[in-house]
Copies of this chain bind each other. A is one copy, B any other.
Amino acid sequence: MIRFGIIGAGRIGIVHARSVEKNLGAQLVAISDPVKEAREKLAEQYGATPVETAEEIFGNPEIDAVIVCSPTPLHVPHILEGVKAGKYVMCEKPVAMKLEAAKQLQADLEGFDPKIMIGFNRRFDPSFAKIHQLVEDGEIGPIEQLTVISRDPAAPPKEYIAVSGGIFKDMTIHDFDMARFFLGDITEVSASGQNLDPELADTGDFDAAVIVLKNAEGKIATIVNSRHCAPGYDQRLEAFGPEGTLFAENIRPTTVRVSKRTHSDALDPYLDFFLERYEAAYSNELDAFIDAIDGKRPFTPSVDDGVKALEIAEAASESARSGKVVEL
């Protein structure tokens, strides 16, 4: 039984609290959040102790493992403190707001034997994981083209966008990790940003984008992003190889097909939002973290994976601005 502390009782903290609760190998000990109401509500719901500061989590000897769900600027210090306190650490993406800070973290971790996993939950989505496994099994030969359609149902509030680090670090970062999951290290980045929603025009950020990534063997990943999507949270992925194509369709809440005079077999809109869409992924991610703690698998995705996704994100920003391929 691994005993967990969660740092941050916000939206993503709730997701992880629920995963821990459902996991028969995990127990939730404490939840920290500077906001009294948030930490108390969540703690009560899951029978944990609410504490104000992350330090109280790190200092608690009854806690084996920490899930860092604090705001992005605090990820680096929280990871570092967690490691120094001898905890296993799972940290939400992105590792840091700036690549520099993430690299500094890597430097600071030298000499330790860190047990850190970065929360790229999509690697653990049953459909994406199955495609990855089929590729590993040689089902379609080596991937030649990966196509990712990734659209949020609706843009977050402008205040969120302002501090989000921009679409590439906030949203596409997941897709960059998926590209690396399937193609390995990326060597060339080419990005085109779009400003489609007039409401978001003055955020200074793109609200849609297409990004083309290439690895050293010339395999390409194409990512199509948008901050909005009428039928819901659009999350599709296709791996194409010489022997076939593997495609992951969207998920709907039911399997009902409606046929009328005007159309046939209409399905539900897509499952909204990441909480529901990736519920299994978050749950499997926690299983994987516990397996890593139990020595059954390495701690991946690692800090290095987090750094490399950030590297691609910064390259994408530069490419979208310069109109040139950026080499890594």
Residues of A within 8 A of B (CB): 22, 24, 45, 126-127, 130-131, 134, 139-140, 144-145, 147, 149, 151, 188, 190, 192, 194-196, 208, 210, 212, 214, 218-220, 222, 224, 226, 228-232, 234, 238, 240-270, 323-325
Contacts and interface: CB of A to CB of B under 8 A. Distances in A.
A270 to B, nearest CB: 6
B226 A144 contact: yes
A228 B244 CA distance: 10
A192 B194 contact: no
A37 B112 CA distance: 46
Contacts of A255: 127, 248-251
Contacts of A266: 258, 263-267
A256 B245 contact: no
Contacts of A251: 255
Instruction: Please tell me how many copies of the chain the complex holds.
Output: 4
A260 B253 CA distance: 15
B258 A254 contact: no
A323 B325 CA distance: 5
Give the interface centre of A250, A254, A269 by most chain B CB atoms within 10 Å: A254
A261 B257 contact: no
A13 to B, nearest CB: 17
B231 A260 contact: yes
Contact of A210 (B145, B208, B230, B265): B145
